[in-house]
Every structure is written in C-alpha cells, then in structure tokens.
C-alpha cells in the first residue's frame, strides 16, 4: 500500500510540473507624486515592486490625456519631467507600467494642481508689427509666447521726453492704438511686456507719422477684386475676394445666393489691416453669389458696410457628361438638344468634341493639352502671344489659369491683341471667359479699360 501511495505522489508531482504556470504577477505601483513645479514643468515620480518601464499620460480633462512621456529603462524607481504646464490649472494623469514579462498595470486617473507654480521666465516677443501709421496715430501689433500685459513708452527719436500708455489685459496677441502724435516725425516705441508673475521683457519698434490721414472722415473701401470675371480668383467651387481700406480696420465678408440675404460670414482678419482677403470655399458651380464687406474697430474705430456686390462661379466643365443609354443615345430629348451658350451646337456634341458648352472655345483642360501639341491653333497662339506680351509689357509673370483663358479668348473668342494685353494689365477686365468679344466689348469694364 505504501508503494502505491508513493507512486501516486510521484505521478502527481510530475503532473504539477507539467501544468502551465500561474498568470503573470500583478505589478504594484506606489508612492506616486508630482512636485517641483517651476516654469511650466513638474517632476513626476513613482515606485514599482518589480523592474518596469512606464508611460505617464496627462492633460486638462480626465478623458483627454493628450500629453505623454515615457520612462524607458526597467527600474524600481521612476522619474519624469512633465513639460508644457500652465499656471493655476488642474491636470489629470495616469501611469501605465510594463514588466519584463510583458505584463501591464495602470493607475486610476489622479490629479495635480499647478496653483502657485514658480515662474522665473520673462515673456518672449514672437512678433512685432507696425499695422499703420497715419498723420496723428499709429496701430501696433505684437505677440508674446505667454499671456502678458504691457507698458509702452514712446517719443520722437530726437528727444528724450517720452509719453506712456499701457495694454492692461493679459493676452497672447496685442493690438494698441496711440493717438495725438505729431505729423512727419520718426518715433520710437518701447514695449515692456510683463507676465502675471512680474517677469518683464522689452523690445522696440520705429515708425514714421505721415502728413496724410488724421481721422476717418474720408474712409474708403477700395480695389475690391475681382471687379469682373477673373479665372485666377473665381472657380467652380471657390472664390477669392480681396479689398483695401484707407485705414487699418478689422473686416469680414458676408454672402449668400439671394440679394440682400446673407447667411454666411467670413472674417478676413482679427487683426486690423489695410489689405484684406477671404477665400470662400464650398460654393456651387455656375451660381451667382451676393456679398457685402463690413469693417469695424481699428484706427479711429470706423464701422462701415459696403454696397452689395456679386460674382458668379464658373460651370464645372471637365466633369459634364451627358447621360447615356445602352444604345449610346441621350436619355432625354431635352438633354440631347440643350444648347447652353446658344451657338447652334448641342451641349452633348460640344462636350464630345472637347468644346466648352457654356461659352466660346474649348475647355481650359483641352487648351492646356493642345498648347503642348505642335501646329494646333492653341500652340500657335501661345507662341505668337508670348512674343507680343514680351515686346509690349516686357518680362511679366502671368497666372497660368489666366493665360489659358487668354489663349482660348484669342483663338476662339474673337479678342484682339490689345484686349489680351489690357486684360493682363488690368486683371482680366477686357476679356470674359464665356462671353465673346463681339458682346463683351459693349460692357463698361471693356470700355473703361481697353485704352488705359
């Protein structure tokens, strides 16, 4: 009996040795601390009961721990320097560690506060810009790498007597207007930026007051572009609108598809300026849009709305394909005989032969391809016009899309060399992409610019 018991014990022992090992041991994380807060940094430490490597995740919300740092070596004691911290904020964090056997453990989400964090670093000037100097005022802009306010000392550069003003809010971006300046003077302005802890930094800007504008009585919005069709600014789904103002102001453009009803607004810039531009995307092809320009703030606080203007997006030419049935006939008699430009040729026939169904000539894609082919009308026109432009205007940089439109206009639209040259000089006003010269020469744009 004793032998049988011994035998069974031996077998049991062998079987136990052959059983899989137990699950990986749980790693214990202890002594988690965040300390030594200084200049946007802090030290995070923790201890594990086995050698591990780890990663700390942290952020300003428990569900948005978007910053992280890793501790690479396997060790019992761990230390990381967190960066990019902001003063007087509550941060959330958790730590995930991994043992040498691949096992992982993570802490629950915890918090630390940067209230009272030591700050010994002065704000740096990222940019200083002179927005405009008039006869009696100046608009200054500067940006610092941390929120700051400022004291500004300014004086004519030939005197030691200075005046002072201030920017009282703690901001990253700063716009300041200084008034009651003397015309025709060189000025030095010294900007002393100070953060909330009292650290200071200084930089300077020079400017010259003119003998011109001294108030907003003659404020103007001018050079609104495009003034007429311009293939470098108006596309099938996008439009680029630019304008100038006589004084530096903030501005926006509001637009819509009905006259007097503007449902969407785009801000040109939150910083006052004299040159403004917006890019309107997501437009519908072959659609007329109405818009107004609004200005506000800036030097002399001028609030103005422009008169209503409009532009029309171009049709989508490269993707217009008539619906076809299995016998290669149009699905609709209306589609078969539709003639958008009333030139006597159905759209379907023009598209089939790479002509523009919405106006004279070819699609711009076809023009671009034909320019590369020897002895095509477009190729010959391209070479001829290049010589004329060189002789008339000298070395001139021309937008590639505008050049294609001009080649098309000269080849198929009946436009003269003079109209082409004037279109280059005056942003396309004497040439229209879908209206032939015979009709466009009666327009005010053509008549106003053909002989300028």
State the Cα–Cα distance between residues 97 and 225, nearest whole angstrom.
60
Query: 148 and 181: one domain?
Result: yes
**Cα separations (Å) of 245 from 69, 217, 271, 306?**
49, 13, 13, 11
Contacting residues for 423 by C-beta, under 8 A, at least 6 apart? 402, 406, 409, 415, 429, 430, 431
Nearest to 252 by CA among 196, 213, 298, 286: 298
Which residues on adjacent β-strands are paired with residue 132? 139
pLDDT score at 182: 93
pLDDT at residue 159 in the model: 83
Residue 36 has which token pair?
Answer: 């030594």
Residue ranges with strand state E in 124-162: 125-133, 138-156
Same domain, 226 and 308: yes
Q: Which of 219, 191, 221 shows the shortest CA–CA distance to 206? A: 191
- Compute, in degrees rounded to 10, the torsion defined by CA atoms 254, 258, 260, 265: -10
Same domain? 84 vs 33: yes
What is d(CA 280, CA 262) in angstroms, rounded to the nearest whole number?
13
Q: pLDDT by residue (tens digit) across 92-122?
A: 999 999 999 989 999 999 999 999 898 899 9
- Find the CATH number of the domain harbouring 226: 2.60.40.10
Alpha helices in 166-213 (DSSP H): none
**8-state DSSP, 300:** G
* pTM of the predicted model as reported, rounded to 2 decimal places: 0.57
What are the phi and psi torsion angles at 372 (to 5°)?
Answer: -80, -10
Does any domain span residue 14?
no
Which of 73, 90, 113 is the last residue before a domain boundary?
113
- Residue 331 is predicted with a pLDDT of 38
Banded model confidence at residue 398, pLDDT cuts 50, 70, 90: confident
As for how many domains the chain has, the answer is: 4
- For residues 296 and 221, what is the distance between their CA atoms, to the nearest angstrom? 12
The tokens for 8 are 């069974």
Residue at 6 is within a domain: no
Q: Which tokens belong to 70?
A: 């890793």
Q: Are residues 199 and 244 in the same domain?
A: no
For the record, the structure tokens of 324 come out as: 């076809």
Residue 266's DSSP bridge partners are 253
Residues 179 and 106 in one domain: no
Shared-domain flag, residues 131 and 93: no
- Rounded to whole angstroms, the Cα distance separating 417 from 414 reads 10
pLDDT of residue 76: 94
Is the domain of 226 the same as that of 204? no
Question: In the predicted model, what is the mean pLDDT of residues 6-11?
Answer: 42
Residue 410 and residue 441 share a domain: yes
409: in domain: yes
Portion of the chain with pLDDT greater than 90, in percent = 56
Residue 321 lies in a domain: no
In a domain, 4, yes or no: no
What is the Cα–Cα distance from 134 to 233, expressed in whole angstroms? 31
Q: What is the DSSP string of 13-48?
A: HHHHHHSPPPPPPPPPEEEEEEEEEETTEEEEEEEE
Q: Are 97 and 140 in the same domain?
A: no
140: alpha, beta or left? (left if phi > 0; alpha if psi -120 to 50): beta
Query: Token pair for residue 149?
Result: 């306010």
For residues 9 and 7, what is the distance between their CA atoms, to the nearest angstrom?
Answer: 5
Phi, psi of 212 (to 5 degrees): -110, -115
Q: Is residue 35 part of a domain?
A: yes
User: Is the pLDDT assigned to residue 328 strictly greater than 60?
Assistant: no
CB burial of residue 415 (10 Å; 0-12, 13-18, 19+): buried
- Per-residue model confidence as pLDDT tens digits over 419-437: 999 989 887 889 988 888 8
Query: CB–CB of 385/406 below 8 Å?
Result: yes
Whether residue 104 has a cis bond before it, omega within 30° of 0: no
Query: For 337-380, what is each residue's pLDDT tens digit?
Result: 566 666 556 667 677 667 777 778 888 888 888 898 888 899 99
CA distances from 178 to 128, 181, 209 (A): 15, 8, 11
Asked if residue 295 and residue 258 are part of one domain, the reply reads yes
Q: Is residue 368 part of a domain?
A: yes
Q: How confident is the model at residue 23 (pLDDT cuts 50, 70, 90)?
A: low
Q: What is the mean pLDDT of residues 77-81?
A: 93
Residues linked to residue 140 through DSSP beta bridges, in sequence order: 130, 176
Does residue 423 share a domain with residue 364?
Answer: yes
Domain final residue, candidates 63, 92, 113: 113
Residue 359's nearest CA partner among 317, 407, 415 is 317
User: Could you give the CA distance from residue 96 to residue 111 in angstroms, rounded to a whole number?
Assistant: 15
Domain that residue 261 falls in: 221-312
Residues 369 and 437 in one domain: yes
Res 74: pLDDT: 93
In a domain, 188, yes or no: yes
Average predicted confidence (pLDDT) for the chain: 85
Residue with structure tokens 């200075």? Answer: 162
């Amino acid at each position: 009996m004793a032998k049988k018991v011994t035998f069974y014990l031996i077998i049991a022992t062998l079987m136990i040795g052959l059983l899989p090992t137990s699950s990986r041991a749980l790693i214990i994380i202890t002594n988690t601390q965040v300390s030594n807060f200084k200049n946007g940094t802090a030290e995070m430490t923790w201890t594990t009961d086995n050698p591990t490597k780890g990663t700390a995740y942290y952020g300003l919300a428990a569900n948005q721990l978007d910053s992280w740092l890793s501790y690479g070596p396997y060790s019992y004691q761990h230390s990381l320097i967190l960066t990019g911290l902001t003063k007087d904020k509550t941060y959330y964090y958790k730590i995930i560690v991994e043992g040498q056997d691949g096992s992982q453990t993570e802490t629950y989400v915890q918090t630390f506060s940067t209230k009272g964090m030591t700050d010994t670093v002065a704000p740096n000037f990222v940019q200083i810009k002179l927005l405009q100097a008039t006869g009696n005022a100046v608009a200054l802009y500067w940006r610092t790498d941390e929120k700051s306010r400022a004291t500004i000392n300014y004086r004519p550069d030939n005197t030691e007597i200075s005046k002072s003003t201030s920017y009282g809010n703690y901001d990253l971006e700063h716009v300041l207007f200084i008034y009651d300046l003397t015309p025709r003077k060189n000025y030095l302005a010294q900007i002393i930026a100070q953060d909330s802890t009292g650290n200071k930094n200084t930089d300077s800007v020079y400017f010259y007051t003119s003998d011109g504008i001294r108030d907003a009585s003659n404020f103007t919005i001018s050079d609104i572009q495009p003034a007429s069709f311009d293939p470098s600014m108006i596309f099938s789904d996008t439009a680029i609108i630019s304008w100038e103002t006589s004084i530096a102001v903030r501005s926006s453009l509001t637009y819509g598809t009905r006259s007097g009803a503007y449902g969407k607004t785009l801000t040109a810039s939150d910083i006052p300026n004299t040159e403004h531009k917006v890019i309107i995307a997501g437009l519908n092809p072959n659609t007329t849009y109405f818009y107004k320009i609004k200005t506000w703030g800036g030097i002399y606080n001028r609030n103005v709305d422009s008169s209503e203007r409009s532009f029309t997006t171009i049709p989508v030419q490269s993707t217009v394909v008539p619906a076809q049935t299995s016998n290669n006939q149009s699905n609709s008699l209306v589609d078969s005989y539709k003639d958008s430009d009333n030139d006597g040729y159905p759209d379907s026939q023009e598209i089939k032969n790479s002509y523009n169904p919405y106006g004279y000539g070819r699609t711009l894609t076809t023009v671009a391809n034909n320019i590369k082919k020897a002895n095509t009308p477009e190729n010959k026109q391209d070479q001829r016009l290049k010589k004329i432009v060189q002789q008339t205007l000298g070395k001139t940089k021309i937008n590639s899309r505008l050049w294609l439109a001009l080649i098309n206009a000269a080849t198929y639209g009946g436009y003269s060399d003079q109209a082409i040259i004037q279109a280059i000089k005056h942003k396309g006003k004497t040439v229209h992409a879908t209206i032939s010269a015979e009709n466009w020469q009666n327009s005010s744009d053509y008549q106003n610019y053909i002989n300028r």
